[in-house]
Amino acid sequence: MSDLILRPHARFAPIEGPVLLVVLDGVGVGAHDEGDAVWLARTPTLDGLARTCPTTQLRAHGQAVGLPSDADMGNSEVGHNALGAGRVFDQGAKRVQLAIESGELFDGEVWRTSVARVRESGEPLHFIGLLSDGNVHSHQEHLHAMLRRAWSEGVQSARVHALLDGRDVGETSALGYVDALEAQLAELNAAGADYRVASGGGRMTTTMDRYEADWGMVERGWNAHVHGRSDRHFRSLREAVVAIRDEQPGITDQFLPSFVLTDEGGAPLGPIRDGAAVIFFNFRGDRAIEISRAFTEASFAPFDRGARPDVLYAGMMQYDGDLRLPERFLVAPPTIDRTLGEHLARNGVTQFACSETQKFGHVTYFWNGNRSGQFDPAKERYVEIPSDNLPFEQRPWMKAAEITDATLAALKSGEHRHLRVNYANGDMVGHTGHREAAITAVQCVDLQLARLVPVIEKLRGALIVTADHGNADEMYARDKSGGFATRPDGSLQPLTSHTLSPVPFHVLAPGRALSLADVKAPGLANVAATVLHLLGFEAPEGFEPSLLA
């Protein structure tokens, strides 16, 4: 407990009112061109903050958030880890990459036990996960490395259940990853292996639900992966993608329906049976938790699993440390301790966290260092606004108004010293690739900021506005020349992934003279100390410095 004691700031008296941090998810600082929905949006509140308040830009990708290189896009998980931790930790992608390169993953007990189980049973070693190089949830090279290693260790049979991306990478880029996987399998099969793709589907229809928003996605994946059941049957992964695109012109990879691959007689190639081992090779946790529960929970209510096979199930990482889910995992996640939330709770500072379902875990679980629950329920209040189960481009306003309603009530109650909220619009609508909807999404959150500012002013509080990564700031893909890429029909190619853009940082404290500190290459990890600064506390040991002088 002694290392969690906060010291009063030596030069700054605390802000009189509450300190509110607003995360505009996916709202980066883009190129100010026709692909930049943030710039195209009418945002008088954000523009006013930029003109009148201390303002800068923060790094929100690559090494600034613990990813392997600055070519890696940030994401909401690592962004909120950095915001809440006040420090930079090696994150999932980097941890897994290093574990594979060093051999740590393959020397671990879980890998060795998985291999031993299938060698003894004769059942395949199954791999389920997102097939791309987006490096947000997974990376195809991790899968390829495990397939090669499994063959070198005498695993005769393996099955891949491939989830197509089109979200963290180009919206119709699947065939590049499909061809690379099928080439890898062909090489191993030429040496005598029996390694095949068994099932698949798009990530937004199959398996990868999060926050219990749509268990039907998980059920479809379960039936395809485990039971080999689906309305769609194909002979190869490439055939599946091409045929569905031909049938549904304009469909993007993330929305491909679930499917099963079959042999010449029509039998599924890879149902998961007793004696098998299953590795879910995504390293990011939020969209891996529900399928992990389906494999591991003895008593399970969300859907009828049918006969649950007796398998050894492991995650690439442990997706929820408090729930110990899953119990077996290949690579230990970063240990993130002494977060901002824990410091505040241990020092009696009341907190409020709010978002809608799509990002609720980010202002709670990820913010708190991948920790479920509250540090001190008597001092913390978490409010989840249920998300709509509708296409985001059809409801770009999402639940922004309801989040603001709850936040205004919390501000006016006087019960909370620090508040944090996430508006998911810029990210979730940005992922759809619909520029006009993304413009509306950004305008919606600007309207909500306009509701918050006068209340902060009245309460003599402070408002920090930032983002966790870019997305809506770049709605069209680029070609090699740097111009906008086009589709075969001449229309602009939408970009559905995150971006490498910096994010805005504005701080409003009515009645207080604030100025920015000279911080070299500021990033998201600097925000925690800035919150503490406004609350009248010094940054704890090891935290990145405050952005305020």
Name the helix (H) or strand (E) containing 261: strand 259-261
Residues 6+ positions from 279 with CB-CB distance below 8 Å: 114, 125, 126, 127, 128, 146, 314, 315, 316, 330
Largest CA distance in the chain: 77
Active site residue 173: no
Q: Which residue has the tokens 């992922």?
A: 431
Of the candidates 337, 495, 484, 362, the residue with the CA atom closest to the CA atom of residue 431:
495
Task: Report the C-alpha gap between 273 and 125 in whole angstroms.
Answer: 11
Task: Report the C-alpha gap between 357 and 354 in whole angstroms.
Answer: 9
**DSSP 8-state secondary structure symbol assigned to residue 524:** G
- CA 339 to chain CA centroid, Å, is 19
Residue 6 in contact with residue 532, Cβ under 8 Å? yes
157, amino acid identity: S
The pairs formed by 242-251 with CB atoms below 8 angstroms and a separation of 24 or more are 242/175, 245/172
Structure tokens at 450: 């306009």
- Of the residues 2, 76, 157, 387, only one is catalytic, namely 76
Cα–Cα distances in angstroms (integers) from residue 415 to residues 16, 47, 352, 411, 441, in the given order = 13, 30, 9, 8, 30
With 0-12 / 13-18 / 19 or more C-beta atoms within 10 angstroms meaning exposed / middle / buried, residue 194 is middle
Structure tokens at 290: 């529900």
Q: How many CB atoms lie under 10 A from the CB of residue 81?
A: 30
Residue 68 in contact with residue 97, Cβ under 8 Å? yes
Sign of CA dihedral 435, 440, 445, 447: positive
Task: Report the C-alpha gap between 505 and 29 in whole angstroms.
Answer: 10
Catalytically active residues are 76
